[in-house]
Structure 1
């Protein structure tokens, strides 16, 4: 199957320095935010909807824990009232050949051992770096027109979306001078919906923020609901990153990585004629 169009077109300047710099800063931030966030989550591996949580409330939608079945330790994950055996993956993790009650494997958290305080320090540090990077990207993209040219979807992008989705489904990946419709909508969703929502829900979980702006609790339906939204958006970002990496590999990793390192990229031959 042909993955891309002919690639012997010209090499063009695709990404400005600001775009490349913020891209790699986001990679670092999201990596440490994910692993430190899971460290924090282990302190209370449950998700709720509403203002409150605890044994007196029946509002849990996710719970990761361990129990005993026939005298053996097993990992049990409950999701919307259904229970799943997740031994070895979640709840009960193998350590030196012995199962231990542990929410996540050690390699999936920062630090690798149980240390809530350090996890919070790492998480908050990279959270503010992420905020600063997002602001830097926004200012830079307004100046170099990356936002208006490549990110903001237009009517023609919406109209061309079905054919672009079909091309991706058939692995017909193009190298254009600007982003395609699916890229625009995906990046717009991440930059203007997912990341701001992560930041807002993260702030809503802060007691200091609640005291300064108590309306945030009403906006998200309570601290526990904000925490659930925060966790859900994290999963969506992980999915986005996984698909993004897959597309880079399928489209030609050398050309794609060069565009984010040097700013230069070889486009399809028909792009030269356009």
Structure 2
């Protein structure tokens, strides 16, 4: 027992927070999403436009995003149109590279795999890591269901909903509580990733496959056509990239060494007194 007025320990105890299944699948997803993003941009460059509806064509324009290059009195310029609003994106989208050797592609080669125009290779890379991603997700769901990680740390409870405003305010003030269990904001974020964004990006990806459409024609009805599925697929990709950026920022702010140790060894340093507050034994 600690006497009243005695100094509290500067460090909390180490707890085993992440199972081997969570750690392995976490890093497999990180690798897969990297290659999926860059190869996906290579595939997108084959036709850098997105549509809403069952079809696209020259007789009408239902594009919600279009990236390309146009001729101007000052020479060619990169141009991006989003919901009818046009922006000059020279040097980034539509037209990149040097003035002597410009590259007229949607996304520059620096962010595509391969870095040059090669749709066939981009598709091979994309499909390979796509199936690895799906396999890792299946393994994670099965392991998390068996070891209780899914019920304990991912599925939100009533107390997580009520505690969300305070947790959001604490994160906004960079006040992080290092505990054995995920915070309400973490739970709801991971729930959205695993039960909304991941299924959406997989199903919309399958919807763009003619073979899958023949086997599962209900996919086209579910997403309103192949073109709409492609747009949703792209939008989910943008949301996942934003989540990744925020995730990395939070890791750096919360203590990168502790967070990395948790995802490499499974052991996590908690804040002093948190185990007692949670009712766990140190």
TM-score grouping bracket, smaller chain normalisation: over 0.9
Task: Tell me the distance in 1 between the aligned counterparts of 2:100 and 2:16.
Answer: 53
2:249 to 246, 249, 259: 246
Higher relative contact order (CA 8 A, sep 6+): 1
TM-score (norm 2): 0.93
Match of 1:31 in 2: 34
1:150 equivalent in alignment to 2:147: no
Deviations 1:30-89, CA, capped at 9 Å, x for gaps: 000000000000001000001101211221000000011114111000000110000001
1:61 to 55, 60, 64: 64
Q: 1:104-143 alignment to 2 at 5 Å?
A: 104-143=107-146
Match of 2:240 in 1: 237
What 5-or-longer segments of structure 1 have no aligned partner?
1-5
Aligned residues: CA RMSD:
1.2
1:50 to 25, 34, 53: 53
Name the larger-Rg structure: 2
Give yes or no for contact 1:14–1:259 (8 Å, CA) kept in 2.
Answer: yes
Give yes or no for contact 1:7–1:267 (8 Å, CA) kept in 2.
Answer: no
CA displacement at 1:101 relative to structure 2: 1.2
CA displacement at 1:96 relative to structure 2: 7.4
Give yes or no for contact 2:179–2:275 (8 Å, CA) kept in 1.
Answer: no
Give SS of 2:59's match: coil
CA displacement at 1:107 relative to structure 2: 1.4
Give yes or no for contact 1:7–1:266 (8 Å, CA) kept in 2.
Answer: no
Match of 1:3 in 2: none
Task: Tell me the distance in 2 between the aligned counterparts of 1:56 and 1:270.
Answer: 67
Give yes or no for contact 2:50–2:64 (8 Å, CA) kept in 1.
Answer: yes
Match of 1:190 in 2: 193
Task: Give the ranges of 4+ consecutive aligned residues of structure 1 lying more than 2 Å apart after TM superposition.
Answer: 95-100
Task: Tell me the distance in 2 between the aligned counterparts of 1:176 and 1:57.
Answer: 55
2:89 to 86, 89, 112: 86
Give SS of 1:66's match: strand
CA displacement at 1:91 relative to structure 2: 0.3
Task: Tell me the distance in 2 between the aligned counterparts of 1:127 and 1:150.
Answer: 26
Aligned length: 269
Give SS of 2:163's match: helix
Deviations 1:66-123, CA, capped at 9 Å, x for gaps: 0111141110000001100000010000147533312112110000000000000000
TM-score (norm 1): 0.96
